[in-house]
């Protein structure tokens, strides 16, 4: 076994596996710019090593794989008119695309909490394992943001309007619902992970993705739909619109317990964030690649970084924790096409580019 420990990230070879462990358990492994850079270096090393058959991504501690990005640091940079968003998101999104295209099997162990940036590191993997403890969410609209890290690509490929529902409400998926939404591939009970992990370290170099998939499926429960999947027909009827006003009107007309609870959830979110999210989700449906969606997300993210809504959303959720953001504008009907346009505009020399 060879080992390189780089502070908040552990990258080492265990048998045939290149193991990447997010190593900030007290912060539920929230990812920093340096961690993204260290993951990229680890992937360089593991890709070049013929003895490494596959990659295993996991999180330290019992609480989860990753609670997302280091939002507080981004908030501080945004308040100071800094450029951390521009730098961090560029490198993060390029890494997300690299993970999807990685030439060796990449296994993500999505146990416990998996949110935001953690989704970007795991849900583009070739083999995505959720557990009986998985709580996966993209709650960015509650921060005046939108589901990024390729979230618009993933959500737009969920069946029916399930992705629209999860993207706008930020609601949590359990393991089976994550499979139904196409964010994961297999439910493996957390108690079986040590045995499966050991088996993965013994996979022969050159093993195919199919071989690795069969190995994982030998430990899987076979579950493929959770409680939200059961509501898909209702969700399809309520969220099958291209304008937020129409979604709100449909929920109000329906008047069911589910519709009213959903309406209450949406009323807590950033109106501007919801409009931007819905537009990006609809554009993503016709995108030919993850990269196309990431380019669009990067444009929108830079606009978000400059916005009062992002600073206010983070303040209310993370800094002051009063859960009472004052959104600008405060109502869906006040979000104009002119407000939306900058989130979709080309950004010239700053465009996201992939090697």
pLDDT at site 95? 98
pLDDT at site 6? 52
For residues 276 and 305, the answer to whether their CB atoms sit within 8 Å is: no
Q: Which helix (H) or strand (E) holds 114?
A: strand 113-115
Unique residue bearing structure tokens 């539920």:
28
Residue 264 burial (CB count, 10 A): 10
Coil, strand or helix at 211: helix
**Distance from chain centroid for Cα 53:** 26
- Four-CA torsion 307, 294, 64, 1, nearest 10 degrees: -130
d(CA 13, CA 2): 6
d(CA 327, CA 315): 12
As annotated, the active-site residues are: 69, 117, 140, 148
Cis peptide before 329 (omega within 30 of 0): yes
Q: What is the pLDDT along the chain (355 residues), one digit of tens a residue?
A: 444 445 899 999 999 999 999 999 999 999 999 999 999 999 999 999 999 999 999 999 999 999 998 889 999 999 998 999 999 999 999 999 999 999 999 999 999 999 999 999 999 999 999 999 999 999 999 999 999 999 999 999 999 999 999 999 999 999 999 999 999 999 999 999 999 999 999 999 989 999 999 999 999 999 999 999 999 999 999 999 999 999 999 999 999 999 999 999 999 999 999 999 999 999 999 999 999 999 999 999 999 999 899 999 999 999 999 999 999 999 999 999 999 999 999 999 999 999 7
Q: What is the pTM of this model?
A: 0.96
Q: Which helix (H) or strand (E) holds 45?
A: helix 33-48
């Amino acid at each position: 076994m060879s080992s390189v420990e780089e502070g908040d990230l552990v990258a080492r070879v265990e048998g045939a596996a290149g193991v990447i462990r997010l190593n900030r358990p007290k912060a539920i492994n929230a990812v920093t710019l340096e961690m993204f850079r260290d993951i990229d270096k680890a992937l360089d090393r593991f890709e070049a090593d013929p003895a490494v058959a596959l990659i295993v991504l996991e999180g330290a501690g019992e609480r989860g794989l990753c609670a997302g990005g280091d939002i507080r640091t981004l908030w501080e940079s945004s308040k100071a008119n800094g450029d951390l968003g521009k730098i961090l998101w560029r490198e993060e999104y390029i890494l997300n695309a690299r993970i999807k295209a990685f030439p060796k099997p990449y296994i993500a162990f999505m146990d416990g909490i998996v949110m935001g940036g953690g989704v970007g590191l795991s849900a583009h993997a070739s083999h995505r394992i959720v557990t009986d403890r998985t709580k996966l969410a993209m709650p960015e609209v509650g921060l005046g943001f939108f589901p990024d890290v390729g979230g618009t690509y993933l959500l737009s490929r969920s069946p029916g309007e399930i992705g629209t529902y999860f993207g706008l409400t930020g609601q949590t998926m359990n393991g089976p619902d994550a499979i139904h939404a196409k964010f994961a591939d297999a439910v493996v009970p957390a108690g079986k992970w040590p045995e499966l992990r050991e088996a993965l370290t013994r996979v022969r170099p050159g093993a195919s993705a199919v071989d690795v998939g069969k190995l994982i499926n030998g430990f899987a429960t076979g579950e493929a739909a959770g409680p939200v999947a059961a509501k898909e027909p209702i969700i399809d009827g309520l969220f099958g619109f291209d304008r937020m006003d129409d979604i709100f009107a449909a929920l109000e007309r329906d008047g069911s317990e589910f519709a009213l609870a959903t309406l209450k959830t949406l009323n807590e979110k950033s109106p501007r964030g919801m409009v931007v999210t819905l537009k990006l989700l609809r554009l993503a449906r016709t995108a030919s690649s993850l990269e196309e969606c990431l380019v669009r997300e990067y444009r929108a993210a830079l606009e978000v970084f400059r916005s009062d809504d992002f600073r206010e959303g983070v303040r209310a959720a993370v800094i002051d924790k009063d859960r009472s953001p004052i959104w600008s504008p405060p109502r869906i009907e006040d979000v104009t096409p002119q407000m939306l346009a900058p989130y979709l505009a080309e950004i010239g020399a700053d465009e996201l580019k992939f090697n």
